[in-house]
Chain A
Amino acid sequence: MPTTLRPAPGVRTPPRAGTPWRTRLFQVEERTAPYAYIAPFFLLFAAFGLFPLVYTAWISLHSYKLGSDMEWLGLDNYTWLLSNPEFYNALWKTVTIGVLSTVPQLAIALGLAHLLNYRMRGRTFFRVSMIMPYATSVAAAALVFAQLFGRDAGAVNWLLGIVGVDAVDWRNGDWTAQVAISVIVIWRWTGYNALIYLAGMQSISQDLYEAAALDGASRWQQFRHVTLPGLRPTILFTIVVSTIGASQLFGEPLIFGGGKPDGGALGQYQTLGLFMYQQGWTYGSLGRAATVAWVTFLLIIVLVLVNTRLAKRRASK
């Protein structure tokens, strides 16, 4: 459509026909290059992120086994799921393990970050050792802790025995198994969160502390009235990330249970992630697995909203 683009006669425009082709090429390059640079990210995301995401919703409306055709079911998978006691069990275990692992984790991380922020000898050593568990894989961590929490020869029971507590059958107890799994999560992620908090603390202006110190605020008061409010966005961020992480818990309970997705004889630590895996890959019902995935996703959104609302209200009190 060259006519619509042609400027009014008499207006001086950069000469078009006379422009050396190199310059014009240069201009085209300048305009299109940015899109070319970000294209790989968006194309790969579309193929392996967005498409599966949307398609999951479609699959959840079908009966679908790998290698066979999809068969339309409507909302049958959803009614199956919502009337299934095993789903509610998995949902409940996900919530309890999530709370057991997230709350202590973030609280400890906050305290650690405060300590790591001090001027001290061996600061790098402490920072690196806090974050070492983060470098460990789920598999390695869960295998080590499965041994440590062993009933007969586990180091945890041995330590408990020293202080006179009877051996605990960690894996087969309902709450004990959940506690053990939470410990794995806490061990792996506390240091990472501490570093995130540390980053947030370092971006708080020194002037605020100076002003507080001048007003005679103690260290504890400075922490409560300067550090905590300053960290609010960071805390919100970690709450959101931990909530998502907790609702996806999969590797820890899988390996803790010896690679079986049933989460113990009574499903005492079967999370939603394990439940989905069991439906899709143990029973081969991918349609049902997709349904679990979508319901989990909706729950995550609700949880994140509730959590951020709560955290905001607390912070503004």
Chain B
Amino acid sequence: MTATLERPPVTPVPPPASRKRLRRNDTAGPLAYVLLGITALVFLVPFYYMIVAASRPMAEMNRTPPPLTPGPDLWSNVVKAIDSQDIGLALVNSTIVSGVITVSTVLLCTLAGFAFAKLRFRGRAALFGVALGTMMIPPSLGVVPLYALMANLGLAGELSSVILPSLVAAFGVFFMRQYLIQTLPDELLDAAKVDGATSLRTFWSIVLPVARPGMAVLAMLTFMTAWNDFFWPVITLNSSNPTVQVALNNLGSGYVPDTSVIMAGTLVGTLPVIVVFLLLGRQIVGGIIAGAVKG
């Protein structure tokens, strides 16, 4: 802290003047546009490269300089990618895995978030602390016994081995708690109580409708995370029953390093998330900001 901040204002300054000056002060100048424009370009170019490479034969991609516009071979490259790794099956698998995880996570996290946000019970603060603390545990630490556990249950290689450990997430509990504290008025809950509703009834007919926008954001974030999960699926699944990420890993490590086919597979595996993002990017960004740890 500097002395300038601690000095009390000597004379009261008329607020309108200072407001105006401040507003001008937080409007972007040309430099901000240039810097952000360059960054946006850097962040988006790899996507563009993916499209260009996926739509041209490999021979053209190996030329110097590389082509800068999309070509006509997208479809044939996609077909080759789907043939070399079973990307169709991978897409179905990833949809199942991400779908189940999303539904379960959103429901269970809303339930737990509701309890932590609005219900009074013994040990609430301590239990919430424990729930938050679990976020600090690196996932790779438990991978060896988790793998042994799944193998003993006969689930190694099965989709359920990917689904089970992700059915609920501490981040979601935290996120829904924040959301419900901010959006669910206590009066509404009191009214339901006076009317004799059980807490489950209250949850169903009052909390769920109020929580819907928050649940939608959590659903998108969860789906994205589940779709992109790499570490555990690569360990537990094999190439005969892959998720998209496992299939992409196999595609990249195959014996035929055909750049264009690899990029076509990558494009197909990434497209679902990209489409979701283009449609709902604003909400997702808002959700990440809302879920961020503040002050």
Residues of chain A whose beta carbon lies under 8 Å from any beta carbon of chain B: 26, 29-31, 33-35, 37-38, 40-42, 44-45, 48-49, 51-53, 55-56, 59, 64, 66-67, 111-112, 115-120, 124-133, 135-148, 152-153, 155, 158, 161, 187, 191-192, 195-196, 198-200, 202-204, 206, 208-217, 219, 221, 225-226, 229-230, 233-234, 237, 240, 244, 247-248, 250-251, 254-255, 258-260, 273, 276-277, 280-281, 286, 289-290, 293-294, 296-297, 300
Contacts and interface: CB of A to CB of B under 8 A. Distances in A.
Nearest to A43: B168
B53 interface: yes
A210 B24 CA distance: 12
A312 to B, nearest CB: 15
Contact of A203 (B63, B139, B235, B294): B294
Which of B63, B145, B200, B249 is most buried by chain A, counting CB atoms within 10 A of its CB? B145
B228 A259 contact: no
Contacts of B285: 124, 127-128, 131, 195
B263 A143 contact: yes
Contact of B248 (A29, A38, A143): A143
Complex A-B, nearest 6 residue pairs according to Cβ-Cβ distance, in ascending order: A259-B253, A52-B142, A118-B28, A128-B281, A120-B28, A199-B292
B289 A195 contact: yes
B140 A248 contact: yes
12 contacts: A34-B121, A38-B112, A42-B131, A59-B144, A66-B151, A128-B281, A147-B262, A195-B289, A250-B231, A273-B231, A280-B144, A296-B140
A40 B134 contact: no
Interface residues of B, number: 113
Given A56-B142, A66-B151, A225-B5, A132 B32 contact: no
Interface of B: 1-2, 4-5, 7, 9, 13, 18, 21-23, 25-28, 32-33, 35-36, 39-40, 42-44, 46-47, 49-50, 53, 61-66, 108-109, 111-112, 114-116, 119-121, 124, 127, 130-131, 134, 136-149, 151, 164-165, 167-168, 170, 173, 196, 198-200, 203, 224, 227-228, 230-231, 234-235, 244-245, 248-253, 257, 259, 262-263, 266, 269-270, 273-274, 276-277, 281-282, 284-285, 288-290, 292-295
A280 B151 CA distance: 14
